[in-house]
Structure formats: structure tokens, C-alpha cells
């Protein structure tokens, strides 16, 4: 049977077909342009949470204080505030105060930051960017999340957010060098001991590294010898000194007015040393007269004060730290005592 649409039905059918065509053209590109967040992640909820923090520092006004909104994953963070002209001033973590980020912010990722309008602030080494005052907080939130994900490789499922109000000063406190979220503007009580209050950050020059035991003795020989002298002078008391290389230590105490008892840390007392204390390095301890663990959990030997002066004992200790434990002085020698 042949069916012919009635004149009244045909225009309606055409209008429906045309509407479907418009929807196909309009909707498909919108889906293709969705921000590439983590697979399976609830994008609207995350953007909404960050946007709420940005909205909070905009709406809540505290005289004499500035509101900061921060989002972070680990030590990857972005922080924003409202400037005097109502624009958003934002900072993203940089390697100047967080040296570990130097491995994260590859040349490609730094280029990505630059192409997105982020530039390095020479004062603290963070990346900074200003957003127009009329930028919708949802748009800004999505942009900040993209920075965490694409430039730092952050995991958006672990994003944390926080708002904090800080006294409005030219140089607000920042988390200190190499601390958690270093460079972030914050007045958290837990970070005050190491906070930076200056208007710029100047890192301390790196400690000189010793290429030999002799060079290490030149760096620390006098300091270690002074500690040995203290042990000798106070040999009738319970005194000691621990010379730590960060991984591995040598510790000494007077056994009597005539002798000094020393131990070199073993893998028995700290299993992490098992990879460092190779047979070749253990042989160096034996050559230096140290006995295997047994009497003590560490390698041990005694030195008679009438056979070794303070300088000689200091040189022995520093040689062990350099040759056995690989200490070069890149990190300052840590000396612990009973005091």
C-alpha cells in the first residue's frame, strides 16, 4: 500500500528533521571541546569546588586582610587572590623554593605554561598570571585545574582546596624553602618557624662538596676535632658525639680516661644501609680496625688517647664518612651530643 503524507503533516515533519540537523551540528562540537580531565572524574563537581573557593574570597571581605584560594595536589599548587583592581592574581609553584619541581617542570611543560600566559616572578620564582576581573569563577577554576594536570602532571582526583585570610601587607608570609607547598602565601601556625617574610627569596649558596676524604677533613676537621677534645676532657662523664652523614653515622664516647670507643653504623641497626654497605666498603671498615657487629649492633673499635690526637681521630672519622658512607658534605655535617 502506498502512503502519501497529508499536506498538513509534511511541513511538521520537515521542521522536526531540520531541528535534528541543527542539534547534531550544535551539540557534537560542544562535546568534543570538553576539558580533558581524568577519565571517569566528575568534572562539574571538581570545577564547582574550586569555583566555590574563588567565589568565597570574592564575597567575603575582611578589613585589613586578603583572601587567598589555594588548590593543590602534593606540592603542586596554584593560589589566587583578588587584586586592588578586582582582577585575579594567581601564582603556581616554581622550582626556586621547591627544588624538586625542577624535575617535574620539563622544558615542554614550562613552554606550556608560557603559552598559556604564565610568566616567572623573579621575586620568588613562582609562575604568575593575572586574570580579568570579570572572568567567571567556573572558567578560572577549570583553567587552574588544567595547570595542575597538564603542567605538573597532578592527579585531579587528589585535589585539595582551602581559603585563608592573611594580613594585607606588602610582603605576606610564605611557606619556607623546600617546605610543604614552599612559596605559598600562608600564615599557618605549623609553617611559621620556617616562613619567609621578605619581599623576595634568595637561596643560600650550595655547600661545597668534597671530592676526597682530605677535602672533607679540610671542611670539617677542626669542628670534629673540637668535639673529640670535648669527649677527652670530659672522659669521666657520660658524654658522646654522633657524626651523621644523613645516611650512616660514626658515634663516639669515652670508654675510660684512656680510650675512646667508636661505632660505625651497620645494616643490622638500619636495614636501609644494606645497599650502601657493599663488601668493598665493609672491607674499608675492617682495614680501619673495626670489628663486625656482635658485641654491639654496629661496627666498633677503640682508640687509645695516648696513640691518637684529636686531629688524627677527626680525620679517621671523616674518612669513614666519605669512603664508607659516601658523604661529600653537600648537606651540612650533623653533630649530635648529649647536651
Residue listed under C-alpha cell 627544588 = 99
Give the model's pLDDT for residue 208.
76
Please answer whether residues 197 and 171 qualify as being in contact, where contact means their C-beta atoms are separated by less than 8 angstroms.
Answer: yes
In whole angstroms, what is the distance from residue 129 CA to residue 147 CA? Answer: 12
Give the model's pLDDT for residue 211.
92
Mean pLDDT by 10 residues, the chain (339 residues): 38 38 34 36 82 94 94 96 96 93 92 93 96 95 94 93 96 94 95 93 78 94 97 95 93 96 95 92 97 94 96 97 93 90
Q: C-alpha distances in angstroms, 140 versus 20, 80, 88, 127, 131?
A: 33, 10, 9, 16, 8
Please answer whether residues 138 and 145 qualify as being in contact, where contact means their C-beta atoms are separated by less than 8 angstroms.
Answer: no
In whole angstroms, what is the distance from residue 87 CA to residue 84 CA? Answer: 7
Give the model's pLDDT for residue 99.
87
Give the model's pLDDT for residue 16.
40
Give the model's pLDDT for residue 60.
85
Please answer whether residues 130 and 88 qualify as being in contact, where contact means their C-beta atoms are separated by less than 8 angstroms.
Answer: yes
Give the model's pLDDT for residue 249.
97
Give the model's pLDDT for residue 17.
38
Beta-carbon contacts of 51 under 8 Å, excluding residues fewer than 6 positions away, are 137, 138, 140, 141
Please answer whether residues 216 and 207 qualify as being in contact, where contact means their C-beta atoms are separated by less than 8 angstroms.
Answer: no
Give the model's pLDDT for residue 61.
84
Give the model's pLDDT for residue 246.
84
Q: How many CB atoms lie within 10 A of CB 140?
A: 20
Q: C-alpha distances in angstroms, 271 versus 29, 97, 183, 276, 320?
A: 58, 32, 35, 10, 19
- pTM for this structure? 0.54
Give the model's pLDDT for residue 209.
85
In whole angstroms, what is the distance from residue 102 CA to residue 183 CA? Answer: 15
In whole angstroms, what is the distance from residue 110 CA to residue 104 CA? Answer: 10
Give the model's pLDDT for residue 247.
85
Amino acid at each position: 500500500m502506498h502512503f502519501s503524507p497529508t499536506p498538513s503533516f509534511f511541513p511538521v515533519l520537515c521542521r522536526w528533521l531540520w531541528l535534528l540537523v541543527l542539534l547534531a551540528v550544535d551539540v557534537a562540537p560542544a562535546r568534543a571541546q570538553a576539558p580533558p580531565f581524568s577519565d571517569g572524574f566528575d568534572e562539574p563537581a571538581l570545577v564547582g569546588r574550586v569555583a566555590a573557593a574563588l567565589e568565597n574570597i570574592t564575597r567575603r571581605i575582611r578589613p585589613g586582610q586578603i583572601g587567598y584560594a589555594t588548590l593543590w595536589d602534593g606540592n603542586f599548587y596554584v593560589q589566587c587572590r583578588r587584586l586592588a583592581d578586582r582582577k585575579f592574581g594567581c601564582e603556581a609553584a616554581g622550582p626556586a623554593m621547591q627544588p624538586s619541581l625542577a624535575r617535574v617542570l620539563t622544558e615542554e611543560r614550562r613552554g606550556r605554561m608560557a603559552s598559556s600566559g604564565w610568566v616567572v616572578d623573579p621575586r620568588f620564582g613562582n609562575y604568575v598570571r593575572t586574570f580579568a576581573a570579570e572572568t567567571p569563577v567556573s572558567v578560572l577554576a577549570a583553567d587552574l585545574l588544567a595547570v595542575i594536570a597538564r603542567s605538573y602532571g597532578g592527579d585531579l582526583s587528589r585535589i585539595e582546596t582551602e581559603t585563608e585570610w592573611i594580613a594585607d601587607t606588602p610582603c605576606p608570609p610564605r611557606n619556607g624553602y623546600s617546605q610543604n607547598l614552599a612559596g605559598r602565601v600562608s600564615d599557618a601556625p605549623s609553617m611559621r618557624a620556617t616562613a619567609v617574610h621578605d619581599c623576595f627569596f634568595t637561596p643560600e649558596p650550595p655547600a661545597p662538596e668534597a671530592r676526597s676524604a682530605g677535602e672533607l677533613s679540610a671542611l670539617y676537621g677542626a669542628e670534629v676535632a673540637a668535639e673529640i677534645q670535648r669527649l677527652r676532657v670530659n672522659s669521666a662523664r657520660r658524654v658522646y658525639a654522633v657524626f651523621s652523614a644523613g645516611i650512616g653515622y660514626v658515634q663516639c664516647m669515652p670508654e675510660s680516661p684512656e680510650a675512646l670507643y667508636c661505632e660505625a653504623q651497620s645494616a643490622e641497626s638500619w636495614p636501609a644501609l644494606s645497599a650502601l654497605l657493599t663488601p668493598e666498603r665493609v672491607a674499608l671498615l675492617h682495614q680501619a680496625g673495626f670489628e663486625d657487629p656482635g658485641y654491639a649492633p654496629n661496627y666498633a673499635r677503640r682508640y687509645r688517647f695516648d696513640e691518637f690526637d684529636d686531629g688524627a681521630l677527626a680525620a679517621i672519622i671523616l674518612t669513614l664518612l666519605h669512603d664508607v658512607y659516601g658523604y661529600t658534605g653537600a648537606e651540612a655535617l650533623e653533630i649530635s651530643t648529649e647536651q
